[in-house]
Structure 1
């Protein structure tokens, strides 16, 4: 009955979440359903196990949600995101439209701009470029996904994405874990994705397929769609409803002022991770008042937090005159972080209840017995849970909460670098999360005025297939030569 309860709880969560029910309600309800099947105490599971795990997640990662959303909103309202996209287009040339869209999305998201902020800026630019080049508009979502939701989310060393931050407390790693393997994975994702998109463009041109019928204005409708909002807030770290709050500048942003904050994110993250924090004495963290922790458990999160804070200061100083409603913009950015953070924390609480049930031992044993060693089983676990929840961050945290300590023990026995575990876990969480029910996919299609039938095959090729090839390559290289 216990295993049946786990399956019923997961099934309810997936089905009702896809229909737009709030995860804040679904996660505790489905967790209690699973606990009831197993004959476990309900109130204790809710207030102690569920809420305890959710609270720990918020304590660890809410600063990243908060500063990431705030930075994204400041960049959007100042006009810096649009300026960066225009700069990339000019550099690449309008003859390489697909490459321009992919690189524009990659630059802003690797620089710390929230995904949904990037969507609402990059999509209109992409539609304009695709229209001028007469490339089918059905390829726009795949180009945007490739640039914003693949290698810059899970593979590039130092990316400030929440997915790259989640494994750090579990494995004692930094945002730059396994940097060489991350670069290899990024090249594969970008190469496979661009190959597919350019091939699709050539096939369409030979068939005489043009841009297609102009879609109606969909951005405002997507912002106001409550169903999309519920799905979106479990997928990434920004509440789309806050995009309409604040005040967007109409003034032109100098390229330097637009790009500098993105450079600050990467540079400060690197300096803090590799040079500053390792050289300071944080032995006091072992004291009771600081949680009996260690620098390795918090250094990664601290690096990202300091990097985002420095970038926020930089974007304000560089664009002071282009932020006429600074308080409103900052309020909107702060508010945009709350629902995504609590939604993902609720998924984490659900996972904690499931992992505490006696029947979960069978699931754990099955995962750990997968042939291929710890790296393969870790990749399968993160893929499976990200697919079920439709959330890379939620699935990744559930997997590591339940099995992170076990994988660290297995890695120590096998001589596997924790940085390699980190990179495999993050890339694994960013593959099958892009299934049809993923909030980012649903929202992007709505913004583009397209359907799954129009564009989902191309999204699968650039978002899932390219990531699986990269993941398999990282596991193979890591198994043969180790982490680098």
Structure 2
């Protein structure tokens, strides 16, 4: 019965997310429903003592990353740098290679620190124009964008500043550059198989006489031939974010040591353990420097739209962080219920520690429809067990970090995933038209986790 209560709560959250209701509103409702059916008198205490504490703890740690990432993405957009990068990549790769061009553009922007949601809006007009001119079915655009933005640059490539690669660092004391070789190999695996799949879909459609199609909705306006910044200037902020993320990741422990103690007048000393926050501080510093770089080279263009642009960025970052924080609070409550012990026991039956981590994270990411939410829930509830199992098997925590991060970005893209819903809305397509290709990329992404685990056990490389 306890297990069914937990399952009911998870299904409720998944259902309301799929139907488009706010997770911020329904995550506490679903969590408290589970408590009500398990131990009714504990509802008030569980809400204030676990749900709100977990929610607030997540916001305290990660909101600055969400905020700075949103602002960075917005200034990249209003400066015209994103359009320049898209045109430059298309010029290098060739307009005839529409799919490869869009995948590379999405990958460059997300690895450079631009939010996944911002990338969707920035790239879609170019994707539509290129697919139309190449007579490729419009329904293949979402799968193409998903491969470039929602897969290897989100959590596999070492150093990526996306939140899915940051969360494990606070639990395992690692950095965003954890297991670099495995991350690169996993990324190549996803990219090669993903491109092969998309090309297969394109050729099949062409053989059947299917082109771009007509009668589409949300068709973008024709692209204007406006004067855009120099491509090398446009890509410089992305390079700054990537390089400074690496530099700061190495420099912060050297500068601050393992523990920083700050004596405040009239207060207790403020003591900070540097290990768990190194990755967060490094990404924050890198994004700030990236924003300043954009302002230095495009002050006039950005200043004209900065006030309105940053309002939208702040609103978006608040919504994104609170969505994930609510799911984190939900996971904290569920993990404290007897029914979760049944689930944990089932997962404990998986003998291999890395496979166990991958299955656990991927399952919870799929149930919640959020990579960061599922990852946070899994690590909040079971990171201690994961570390013990890894230590017993002599597996470096860097490998655990990479497997957990990559697993979060696999089955999270079920139909109720927020990024999937946004992508389909922006492109004017339906789940029926385009979700199959997104799901196929999800399957390849999940297989990449098993590939990385196999490579590690076969070679021992990290």
* TM-score normalised by structure 2 residue count: 0.94
Stretch moving more, 176-185 or 249-258: 249-258
Aligned to 1:448: 427
Distance 1:218 1:202, change over 3 A: closer
**Does the 8 Å CA contact 1:74/1:333 hold for their aligned counterparts?**
no
Indicate whether 1:481 and 2:456 are aligned: no
Give, in angstroms, the shift of residue 469 of structure 1. 2.1
**Does the 8 Å CA contact 2:19/2:416 hold for their aligned counterparts?**
no
Q: Give the Cα separation in 2 of the matches to 1:131 and 1:339.
A: 34
Aligned to 2:146: 145
Matched position secondary structure for 1:125: helix
Aligned to 1:19: 19
1:326 maps to which of 306, 309, 316: 306
Distance 1:203 1:4, change over 3 A: closer
Q: Give the Cα separation in 2 of the matches to 1:63 and 1:351.
A: 22
Aligned to 1:65: 66
Matched position secondary structure for 2:443: helix
**Does the 8 Å CA contact 2:173/2:276 hold for their aligned counterparts?**
yes
**Does the 8 Å CA contact 1:390/1:437 hold for their aligned counterparts?**
yes
Q: Give the Cα separation in 1 of the matches to 2:269 and 2:259.
A: 7
**Does the 8 Å CA contact 2:75/2:291 hold for their aligned counterparts?**
yes
- 1:325-474 alignment, distance < 5 Å: 325-371=305-351, 373-461=352-440, 463-474=441-452
Q: Give the Cα separation in 2 of the matches to 1:35 and 1:430.
A: 29
- 1:67-466 alignment, distance < 5 Å: 67-217=68-218, 252-274=228-250, 276-285=251-260, 293-323=272-302, 324-371=304-351, 373-461=352-440, 463-466=441-444
Stretch moving more, 276-285 or 143-152: 276-285
**Does the 8 Å CA contact 1:218/1:447 hold for their aligned counterparts?**
no
**Does the 8 Å CA contact 2:85/2:235 hold for their aligned counterparts?**
yes
Give, in angstroms, the shift of residue 416 of structure 1. 0.7
Q: Give the Cα separation in 2 of the matches to 1:101 and 1:438.
A: 22
**Does the 8 Å CA contact 1:420/1:483 hold for their aligned counterparts?**
no
Aligned to 1:30: 30
1:56-98 superposed Cα distances (whole Å, 9 cap, x missing partner): 1111111100100110111111111111111100010112111
Q: Give the Cα separation in 2 of the matches to 1:414 and 1:292.
A: 33
**Does the 8 Å CA contact 2:138/2:213 hold for their aligned counterparts?**
yes
Aligned length: 453
Give, in angstroms, the shift of residue 457 of structure 1. 1.9
Q: Give the Cα separation in 2 of the matches to 1:17 and 1:218.
A: 26
1:439-462 superposed Cα distances (whole Å, 9 cap, x missing partner): 21122112212222222222222x
Unaligned stretches of 5+ residues in structure 1: 221-248
Give, in angstroms, the shift of residue 52 of structure 1. 0.6
Matched position secondary structure for 1:359: helix
**Does the 8 Å CA contact 1:386/1:396 hold for their aligned counterparts?**
yes
Give, in angstroms, the shift of residue 219 of structure 1. 7.0
Q: Give the Cα separation in 1 of the matches to 2:284 and 2:348.
A: 34
**Does the 8 Å CA contact 1:167/1:426 hold for their aligned counterparts?**
yes
Q: Give the Cα separation in 1 of the matches to 2:94 and 2:360.
A: 42
Q: Give the Cα separation in 2 of the matches to 1:291 and 1:55.
A: 19
**Does the 8 Å CA contact 2:18/2:415 hold for their aligned counterparts?**
no
Q: Give the Cα separation in 2 of the matches to 1:309 and 1:428.
A: 29
1:362-414 superposed Cα distances (whole Å, 9 cap, x missing partner): 2112112213x111011011111111111000000000000011111111111
Q: Give the Cα separation in 2 of the matches to 1:144 and 1:387.
A: 20
Q: Give the Cα separation in 2 of the matches to 1:168 and 1:70.
A: 23
Q: Give the Cα separation in 1 of the matches to 2:73 and 2:269.
A: 30
Distance 1:341 1:369, change over 3 A: same
Give, in angstroms, the shift of residue 39 of structure 1. 1.1
Give, in angstroms, the shift of residue 291 of structure 1. 6.5
1:208-256 superposed Cα distances (whole Å, 9 cap, x missing partner): 2111115233679xxxxxxxxxxxxxxxxxxxxxxxxxxxx96522212
Matched position secondary structure for 1:280: helix
Stretch moving more, 208-217 or 397-406: 208-217
Distance 1:20 1:216, change over 3 A: closer
**Does the 8 Å CA contact 2:137/2:210 hold for their aligned counterparts?**
yes
Give, in angstroms, the shift of residue 330 of structure 1. 2.4
Matched position secondary structure for 1:285: strand
Stretch moving more, 322-331 or 261-270: 322-331
Distance 1:283 1:436, change over 3 A: closer
Q: Give the Cα separation in 2 of the matches to 1:218 and 1:341.
A: 30
Give, in angstroms, the shift of residue 479 of structure 1. 2.5
**Does the 8 Å CA contact 2:75/2:294 hold for their aligned counterparts?**
yes
Q: Give the Cα separation in 2 of the matches to 1:290 and 1:267.
A: 33
Matched position secondary structure for 2:350: coil
